Structures are given as structure tokens and as C-alpha cells.
Amino acid sequence: MENTSGQGKKAIVPAEIDGWNWGAFLLNWIWGIGNNTFIALLMFVPFVNFIMPFVLGVKGSAWAWQNKEWESIEHFKAVQKKWAYWTAIVYLFFIAAFAGLFFIIMSSMKDSDAFKLAESQFESSRQASEIIGKPFSTGLPSGSIETSEPSGKATISFGVEGSKGKGTVYFDAVKELGQWKINSLVLEEEGTGKRIDIDPQATTSAPVEGAVAVTPALAEKTATPVEVEKVVITTSEANLGAAKAKAGVRKPTGDVNEFWGNFTWDDLSADEKKLWAVLGWNGRIWGSESESPASEETSWAKLSEAERAALTSLGYDKKSWNKE
């Protein structure tokens, strides 16, 4: 059969190449320029571009044979096969890039101070503990965070699953003078759709309001928390000596790192949990040997203003944080 490629409408299109063309369908106008099939530029015409990819998929091979000279049928097939091959690579690249970008954005949102604060308050809530149970895990968040130092706002939701159930947490937060504050925190139970306003004040650990000295003898006699003047003191606290607290935050005695290292997450007051949450800590990773927040490896100078303020309230300074 005579090779009549490139002769326009006079060209006889071989039956073996007159089939569906994936390169023309998926890369449309790019494929059209590369194959001298400029009708593919109709992709830029509104409404026409909805059907043009399908037209190119069906008619593309015939038009390419008519509009461009080819050495042989085998040469034509080889080139069109390469177009299909590179089309697949391009699409896979963009899918992977989009997925990667989505994951990076969601991960950065999960590392934000607003999310950490909401997660900490949710974990501290007695209501959440009764409905979801402990321990619980959180999924990737979705929503928006807008910051313009020293202010900002965040509206975020994230999935949560515990030993008793699972659901979705919604919260609204604002940043004022460099500090995040949760305006509302709501849990929606999966299945029932019931919504519960989570009260961050209704925590599982009562805040420490004052200093109570407990002798070693008393600490040895009890293995359970001792309630003195409505203040819960645990055995680990008793062994630290006279640990003083102000506004629910204890003042460390001795080495500040050793002081906080003696407590479990449940030993901390609600105010202390909020401060540690700013630094990325929560009940899941507190005390873990394999997991720690990014702030743990960050020098004092590179910490954010909010993180340094939280550390100062916990008794740290530049020297003790950097372990100089």
C-alpha cells in the first residue's frame, strides 16, 4: 500500500492505525501541535472544549496521518505509542504532586499551634473521654488557618477515634496578641450525628490551686492521690518536695527538666496541659520514647513567640531549654 501520509484529505488512512488515540485524548492541544493537527486548538474555545478531547481521541490518528508525513505505518505507531507513554507519565506526575501538596498542607495544619491547643483541650475534656474514650487517634485536619502576626483565626475539623467510639471534631479559634484561644469546640458522633459542645473547663484533672507540702512518710503510706483542701497531690508530686503552683501552673523546684519529667500527662493540670500543647505535646506522645514534637529539637532562638511564652510560664529560660 502506497504511503500517502501528509497529503491532507487525499491521504488514505490505513485501517490498522485508524483507532482510539490516548495521546490525543489526554494531551489534546499539546498533542495537536506536535502532530500538525491544529484543530486541537479548539480546546481553548469555551463549551467546545468539553467534547473536543473525545473527538480527538476518535479522529486524532486519522488527522495526524493526513496532516504529517510519516516514514511508515510502523513509524507512526511507534511515535503515537510514545505519546501515550509520556501522557501516562505526565498525568501520574501531576496526581502525585497534587497528593503530595495536599498531604504537606494537611500535615502543616496538624502541626499548627491552633490544632495542638484544640487537641489538648479535647483530650482534657471529661465529656470527650466518656464518649470517645482513651487513648484516641486523630486524622488529618481540613479547614483554613489565617495568620497575620500577632493575630489570626482558624476554622478546622478533624476525625477522632477512641476505644469507645469515633466522630468528627470541629473548632473555631482566634489568635490575639500572639496567643491562640478556642472559641468553640464541638464533637459530632459518627452514626447518630449528635453534636456535643465540648467544655474545655470540664477536664479529667483538677487544676492545682496552691502548694501543699507532703512528707515522705505520707507518700509511702498511699499509692493513690491524696486530696488535701481540694488539691490533688500524687505520689510523684510528693517526692518532688514542696512544689508550688500559681494559677494552676506549678513552679519548678531544682532542675526544670527533671521536675516536669516526673509527671505523667494525667498528673498535669488543665492550665499546664494548655501550655505544653502550644509546644506540640499531648497525652499520646507525653513520655513516649519514640515520638516527640518538633519544638523538642528546636533551640530557644528559633522557637515562636508563643512557644517561648509557654516555656517561660512553665519555668524554662533560654539556658535551661538549650540545656547549656
More confident residue, 267 or 31: 31
Phi, psi of 16 (to 5 degrees): -70, -10
Interatomic CA distance for residues 135 and 260, integer angstroms: 21
Range in 24-33, 63-72, 90-99, 282-291 the model is least confident about: 282-291
pLDDT of residue 156: 92
β 195-197/226-228 pair status: unpaired
Q: Which residues have a Cβ under 8 Å from the Cβ of 84 and sit 6 or more positions away?
A: 21, 22, 23
pLDDT per residue over 178-187, tens digit each? Answer: 889 999 999 9
Residue 240 has pLDDT above 50, yes or no: no
**Residues 6-30, mean pLDDT to the nearest whole number:** 92
pTM of the model: 0.48
pLDDT of residue 150: 84
Interatomic CA distance for residues 188 and 225, integer angstroms: 33
Interatomic CA distance for residues 3 and 14, integer angstroms: 9
**Residues 230-251, mean pLDDT to the nearest whole number:** 50
Range in 130-134, 140-144, 202-206, 273-277 the model is least confident about: 202-206
Residue 211 has pLDDT above 70, yes or no: no
CA nearest neighbour of 246 among 263, 278, 217, 269:
269
Residue 234 has pLDDT above 70, yes or no: no
pLDDT per residue over 66-114, tens digit each? Answer: 999 999 999 999 999 999 999 999 999 999 999 999 888 888 888 899 9
pLDDT of residue 237: 46
pLDDT of residue 149: 79
